[in-house]
């Protein structure tokens, strides 16, 4: 019984998938950033400005 408990199959604490993942299975995923509506509108406007500048640059060629 002790041999089974110290084997690699049980040693990682039942990591996914089937205990083969090792320590990577315990890394927390990156936390999603939450923005309020004002920040989202600002990001959207900035991206539109960049897009407009690229369109104007393409038309001048």
Output the DSSP codes for 1-61.
-HHHHTSHHHHT-SPTTTT-SGGGGGPPPPPPP---HHHHHHHHHHHHHHHHHHHHHHHH-
Confidence of residue 13 (pLDDT cuts 50, 70, 90): low
Confidence of residue 57 (pLDDT cuts 50, 70, 90): confident
Which residues contact residue 16 at a Cβ distance below 8 angstroms, ignoring those fewer than 6 apart? Answer: 25
**Res. 14: pLDDT tops 70:** no
Q: Which residue pairs, CB below 8 angstroms and at least 24 apart, start in 24-32? A: none
**pLDDT at res. 56:** 83
**pLDDT at res. 46:** 96
Residue in 30, 14, 32, 34 with CA at minimum distance from that of residue 22: 14
Model pTM greater than 0.85? no
Q: What is the pLDDT of residues 20-55, one digit of tens each?
A: 555 555 677 777 778 889 999 999 999 999 999 988
């Amino acid at each position: 019984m002790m041999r089974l408990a110290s084997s690699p199959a049980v040693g990682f604490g039942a990591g996914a998938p089937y205990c083969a993942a090792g320590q990577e299975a315990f890394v927390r995923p990156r936390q999603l950033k939450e923005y309020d509506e004002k920040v989202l509108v600002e990001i959207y406007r900035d991206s539109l400005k960049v897009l407009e500048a690229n369109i104007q640059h393409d038309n001048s060629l």
